Structure 1
Amino acid sequence: MSVRDASSSFPWPPVIFATAFALATLAGWKEPMPIVPEAARGFLRFAGILVILAGVGIALAAEWRFMLAGTATLPTRPTSMVVSEGIYRYTRNPMYLGLSLSVAGVGFLINSWWFLVVLPLAVIAVTKLAIEREERYLEAKFGPDYLGYKARTRRWF
């Protein structure tokens, strides 16, 4: 029997965030739950765009760092090194942080509480099904290098 060199055999994070997005969209379609009255949406739209751009920017910065390091971004692939530069100096999970911000930003943009309701559920699910597994995998694979990084860098922000 061979040991799998990856933190997961299933790509939980994209599935979790896509499911959260779909559930919020369906719930909002079935039972709209606006954050603010329609007349006050202007600022909320602007804030939504800014939050989405921040989320996408953080996620792209994280992807770029992994690409520069030559390591995989999907949890179903082997990790070749601990990436601790760039955005990874501030958060161990910038891709998930970026996705979370994007979900919240869409909620602001389209004025729907549903996106903010499902977001904590997505964060809990990604923490339990992905992050904790990734941390165990990285601790086992990289030992003191990862433990030192983990001690000096926050999980989310």
Structure 2
Amino acid sequence: MPSLELKAPSLELKVPPVAVMLLVALMMWLVSLITPVIALTFFVRLFIGAMFAVAGIAVALAGVISFMQAHTTVNPTTPNSASNLVDSGIYRFTRNPMYLGLLSMLLGWAVFLASPLALTGTVVFILYMNRFQIKPEEKALLNVFGEAFLQYQAKVRRWL
């Protein structure tokens, strides 16, 4: 009997996280066009949305800079080529600051769209990233760094 199971490994580490974020942002925008929105002024939506977006950019950049300073790969599709386990700086608070930054940008987008249903896009992003990006990355990092990664994983949360 043929399996109806999704070929999950075929998606693992294949779609760059920025592309996932952009696809989810597009989906959120489309949802906002056909669902009720909250009556907020343009200025309020822009200001609050921009605050989330700027915070997200700062968190993501802190992650990229930490990787660059450690001379390790920032390529999310090849975690097995990591040369150093980064556990300082922003990585003391979150194991995935770049993805957390993208999530914060999506939250800002949802606020700007003023569509409560568009917020489901952030849930889709988290679920996708956990399954198809983060879990495979963690497996690769465990293979590369062994016990050091397990210790880091035990003391720092995946998102926040």
- TM-score, structure 1 as length reference: 0.85
Partner of 1:85: 88
Query: Alpha carbons of 1:9 and 1:101: their partners in 2 closer, same or farther (altered >3 Å)?
Result: closer
Contact (CA 8 Å) 1:45, 1:111: kept in 2 or not? no
Structure 1: which 5+ runs fail to align? 1-7
2:107 aligned to 104, 109, 116, which one?
104
Partner of 1:154: 157
Per-residue deviation at 1:106?
1.2
Query: Alpha carbons of 1:134 and 1:67: their partners in 2 closer, same or farther (altered >3 Å)?
Result: same
Per-residue deviation at 1:122?
1.1
4+ runs deviating over 6 angstroms: none
Q: Give RMSD over aligned pairs.
A: 1.7
Per-residue deviation at 1:90?
0.2
Partner of 2:54: 53
- TM-score, structure 2 as length reference: 0.83
Give deviations 1:51-73, integer Å, cap 9, x for gaps.
11111100011111111111111
Structure 2: which 5+ runs fail to align? 1-11
Query: Alpha carbons of 1:115 and 1:79: their partners in 2 closer, same or farther (altered >3 Å)?
Result: farther
Query: Alpha carbons of 1:106 and 1:9: their partners in 2 closer, same or farther (altered >3 Å)?
Result: closer
Write the letter of the residue equivalent to 1:152: K
